Amino acid sequence: MNPFRFELLHTSKKSRARVGRIHTPHGVIDTPNFVAVGTNGTLKALDNAAVHDIGLQLMFCNTYHLVLQPGTKVVKEAGGLHKFINRSMPIITDSGGFQVFSLAYGSVADELKSRGTKKHGNSVIKIDEEGVLFRSYIDGSKVLLTPESSVHAQKDLGADIIIPFDELPPYHISPEALLRSFERTHRWQKRSVDTHLSMRQNQAMFAVIHGGLNWDLRKKSCEILRELGFDGFSIGGSLGKNKADILELLANTVPHLPDPFPRHLLGIGDLASLEASVPHGIDTFDSSYPTKLARHGVALSHQGQVNLTKGENKTNYGPISNDCQCYTCQKFSRAYLHHLFKAKELVALQLATIHNLYFMVHKMASIREAILSDSI
Amino acid sequence: MNPFRFELLHTSKKSRARVGRIHTPHGVIDTPNFVAVGTNGTLKALDNAAVHDIGLQLMFCNTYHLVLQPGTKVVKEAGGLHKFINRSMPIITDSGGFQVFSLAYGSVADELKSRGTKKHGNSVIKIDEEGVLFRSYIDGSKVLLTPESSVHAQKDLGADIIIPFDELPPYHISPEALLRSFERTHRWQKRSVDTHLSMRQNQAMFAVIHGGLNWDLRKKSCEILRELGFDGFSIGGSLGKNKADILELLANTVPHLPDPFPRHLLGIGDLASLEASVPHGIDTFDSSYPTKLARHGVALSHQGQVNLTKGENKTNYGPISNDCQCYTCQKFSRAYLHHLFKAKELVALQLATIHNLYFMVHKMASIREAILSDSI
């Protein structure tokens, strides 16, 4: 029996929002759920045992980074990523495609700022049908990432959910170029899933729906990828430039995905976008936003964001939130956290990250409750 | 009854080494013991609840830093330093003298490198009989630190053990200048202890024995300070330029201190110097060395230092030490720690600090055992 299984428990009477359970070899992921980003096999400033205690059910690691450091062979020799990083709960890895194309075109944010004038970075040597050849930022060595090598790397890592190698087109792109990229990204995903299926080992693979902001292409992408044997679907490619774009994209894409399969939204930004995406039927969301905010001194709360570095917290001897049961709120005051940020103490980053991660885990539980009672 | 009391349990038959207990309002400090440095009210990279769990019995905080950020009034309003930083076990604060004179003359290490050519830093405006006027590195405001203001600041902080304001003379100093500094430092300590005794509030004050590398002056310092009502003695001032200097200094100083009082060695460097100082009858040692080493990727072990960043640890899937019960060794491998350091992940600093702190706490326990059996 395939250890990977999606159980759809309830769909809201009010929207496409749904509650489910993704079963994996490393336990259950209750959905909808937040997926924290632990690029190098750790969340920034927080060890994996602490992350486990907070109850984060799915962690997102980046194959691109792990290929370059420590190398996937080191991880495989350790017994796989779970054992290497000491995480007993589920992990998802991406293909590395996002990072190599960000190197080539700049990140989406960079690109929006530069209005598409930014060209290939120095580190990308060649992009062709085979894959992407680039230089390691660590030792300058040449690395070839292809659909096959990405899947092999992800097999070495052994995450519960893996992603096919895809091309991330720039946001500023001509319709013709988008179409060429669209066709290649689907050929690459076919090669990826074929490689995956030829060597199956307790992993699920989620397709990446492409098509930019062209709804016909998004629909076509769903139709193509539904036929290839994927275990779930993630929505990737260019998601547009703001929350309105994302929501319109979801409204025009999710209806073309089969209900019995989990749906992941790749690299969502802020909490508001996440909350707005739930009614469109998205099950999981990866975002570095809550942990990045924490490192900038901003704590999440049900009453809005709390900027711990602001002067008003200098003599606030209460916790971030009176109703929060997290390690940080149980032990430390806003005034102390304010002081730690002002004194540039590393522990400030850790304590704020604990709080924001705990907030997200519990926020998602309350979202699931709301869906079960059809109020979302 | 004074909550502060030193209980001398055993003196070695082999040396001046002794085992004791310092009783404080926040519990017992078993001696000899290591005192970790938490300058801003936290160890670097480690929260105080974790430090408590490791069992560190005495933490050293710096008044100079806390005066400037967050200000001692903020700490007082929080209910004192223990409450502000959430530490239930004993704390010692220094007077700020060390830092302001390091600003003036450069640190001892800087000064040894510059052979005494470094003069007053820009931030020190005036040094006279009253005290030291300097500029805050945070907001540029003028701050006057005197024996009285230092003690008042330390009363606001409310540590279990406090230190009188003293002058730290430079290592490169003429005999005449050393004598002038010697006389002023004792006048300042008299003013400090008088201020302290006039407003006693469950704190002990440890004198600072001065005299540089002049054994007559060290003896005289002991004789002067024994008469002033201090609860213990710390050995400060210039400790020389290497371990041999320190040990000769201790051999010529400790015999002039009364046995029934605890003895602290201020700012000891490495572990070897600490171990060599125990047979001279020192009870407590503050050092940032073990935690600083950790942040540079060096772990302490009974088999010597382990440099986690070295290539030999890349595929070492065992813990730092097989016989170590610390959080880090119980959960994470050398290979993972190596990776975290290479990937510049903050959590590497935290995990290595946990290990080194745990090592020191248990190292000191084994030193106490060895003294009890007269083998040190």
pLDDT tens, position by position, A116-165: 444 445 689 999 999 999 999 889 999 999 999 999 999 999 999 999 99
- How far apart (Å, rounded) are the C-alpha atoms in residues B160 and B113? 36
pLDDT at B115: 46
**Weakest-pLDDT range from A118-127, A271-280, B281-290:** A118-127
pLDDT at A88 over 50: yes
CA distance A66 to A69: 5
**DSSP 8-class letter at B293:** H
Worst-scoring range by mean pLDDT, A155-169, A192-206, A319-333, B111-125? B111-125
Does the CA dihedral B286-B291-B296-B302 come out positive or negative? positive
Q: What is the pLDDT of residue A1?
A: 54
Q: How confident is the model at residue B1 (pLDDT cuts 50, 70, 90)?
A: low
- The structure tokens 């009285």 sit at B148
- Where in the sequence numbering do the catalytic residues of A fall? 94, 286
Q: For the sheet containing B27-31, what is the strand order?
A: B5-11, B18-24, B27-31
Distance CA A28, CA A368 (A): 15
Which pLDDT belongs to residue B108? 57
- Model pLDDT for residues B136-162, shown as the tens digit of each residue: 988 999 999 999 999 999 999 999 999
A346 CB contacts (<8 Å, ≥6 apart)?
A: A45, B44, B45, B346, B349, B350
Which of B361, B161, B356 lies closest to B261, judged by CA? B161
Across the range B200-205, mean pLDDT stands at 88
Write out the two tokens for A112.
């929006």
Helix residue spans in A215-333 (DSSP H): 215-226, 243-251, 271-277, 289-295, 327-331
Residue A98, both tokens = 């996002």
Write the single-letter amino acid at A148.
E
Q: Which of B347, B349, B354, B357 to mutate to test the interface with A (most CBs of A within 10 A)?
A: B347
d(CA A91, CA A100): 21
Q: Does A85 touch chain B (CB under 8 A)?
A: yes
Look at residue B118 in the predicted model and tell me its pLDDT: 44
Largest CA distance in chain B: 61
Beta-carbon count within 10 A of B136 CB: 13
pLDDT band for position A115 (cuts 50, 70, 90): very low
CA distance A59 to chain B (A): 16
Choose the closest CB to A74 out of B77, B86, B314: B314
* pLDDT of B30 higher than 80: yes
Classify residue A155 by its DSSP letter: H
CA A269-A273-A274 angle, 5° bins = 90
User: How does the average pLDDT of chain A come out, rounded?
Assistant: 94
Backbone angles phi, psi at A157, to 5 degrees: -70, -45
Q: Where in chain B is the domain with CATH 3.20.20.105?
A: 5-287
Contact check, Cβ <8 Å, B74/A335: yes
The shortest CB-CB distance from B333 to any of A78, A336, A351 is to: A78
Q: Which pLDDT score is estimated for A113? A: 54
Asked if B44's CB is within 8 angstroms of A336's CB, the reply is no
The average pLDDT across A85-95 equals 98
Contact between B26 and B160 under an 8 Å Cβ cutoff? The reply is: yes
Is residue B10 exposed (0-12), middle (13-18) or buried (19+ Cβ within 10 Å)?
middle
CATH fold group of domain A5-94+149-287 = TIM Barrel (3.20.20)
Active-site positions of B read 94, 286
Contact B47, B21 (CB under 8 A): no
CA A130, A132, A138, A140 torsion: positive or negative? Answer: positive
How confident is the model over A56-68, as a mean pLDDT?
98
Tell me: pLDDT of A191 over 90. Answer: yes
Query: Which comes out higher in pLDDT, residue B367 or B178?
Result: B367
For residue B183, the distance in angstroms to the closest alpha carbon of chain A comes to 35
Q: Judge whether A31 and A284 are in contact, CB under 8 Å.
A: yes
- At B43, the pLDDT band (50, 70, 90 cuts) reads very high
Three-class DSSP category at B215: helix
Strands A124-127 and A132-135: antiparallel
Pick the more confident residue, A239 or B277: B277
For residue A334, give the chain B residue with the closest CA.
Answer: B84
B120 — pLDDT class (breaks 50, 70, 90): very low
Distance CA B333, CA A135 (A): 29
Where exactly does CATH 3.20.20.105 map onto chain A? 5-94+149-287
Q: Give the DSSP H or E segment for A264.
A: strand A263-265
Which residue, A116, A124, A75, A119, is CA-closest to A96? A124
Distance of alpha carbon B10 from alpha carbon B19, whole angstroms: 5
Decide if B350 touches A, using CB distance below 8 A: yes
**pLDDT of A245 over the 50 cut:** yes
User: H/E/C letters for each residue in A15-49?
Assistant: CCCEEEEEEECCEEEEECEEEEECCCCCECCECHH
Task: Please compute the mean of the pLDDT values over residues A99-124 and round it to a whole number.
Answer: 65
* Beta carbon pairs, A and B, within 8 Å: 118
Spell out the long-range contacts of B143-149 with Cβ–Cβ below 8 A and sequence spacing 24 or more: B143/B67, B143/B68, B145/B64, B145/B67, B145/B96, B145/B97, B145/B100, B146/B191, B147/B188, B147/B189, B147/B191, B147/B192, B147/B195, B148/B191, B148/B192, B148/B195
Q: Which two tokens stand for residue A55?
A: 């109850």
According to CATH, the superfamily of the domain at B5-287 is Queuine tRNA-ribosyltransferase-like (3.20.20.105)
Across the range B258-276, mean pLDDT stands at 94
C-alpha dihedral (B182, B186, B191, B193), degrees to nearest 10:
140
The answer to whether the peptide bond before residue B70 is cis (omega within 30 degrees of 0) is yes
Amino acid in position B347: V
Please report the pLDDT score of residue A265 as a whole number: 97
Q: What is the mean predicted confidence (pLDDT) over B174-179?
A: 91
Residue of higher predicted confidence among B46 and A103: B46
Residues 306-345 of chain B with CB under 8 A from chain A are 314-315, 317, 327, 331-333, 335-336, 338-340, 342-343, 345
Distance from CA of B309 to the nearest CA of A (A): 12
Touching check for B346 and chain A: CB below 8 Å?
yes
Token pair belonging to A164: 């096919």
| Joined tokens for residue A187 | 């050929």
Contact with chain B for residue A41, Cβ under 8 A:
yes
Give CA–CA dist A50/A56, Å, rounded: 10
Task: For residue A331, count other CB atoms closer than 10 A to its CB.
Answer: 16
Residue A130, burial from CB neighbour count under 10 angstroms (0-12, 13-18, 19+): middle
How many Å lie between the alpha carbon of A74 and the closest alpha carbon of chain B?
6
Q: Do B339 and A47 touch (CB under 8 A)?
A: no
- pLDDT class of A110 with cuts at 50, 70, 90: low
Map tokens 């609840």 to a residue.
Answer: B49
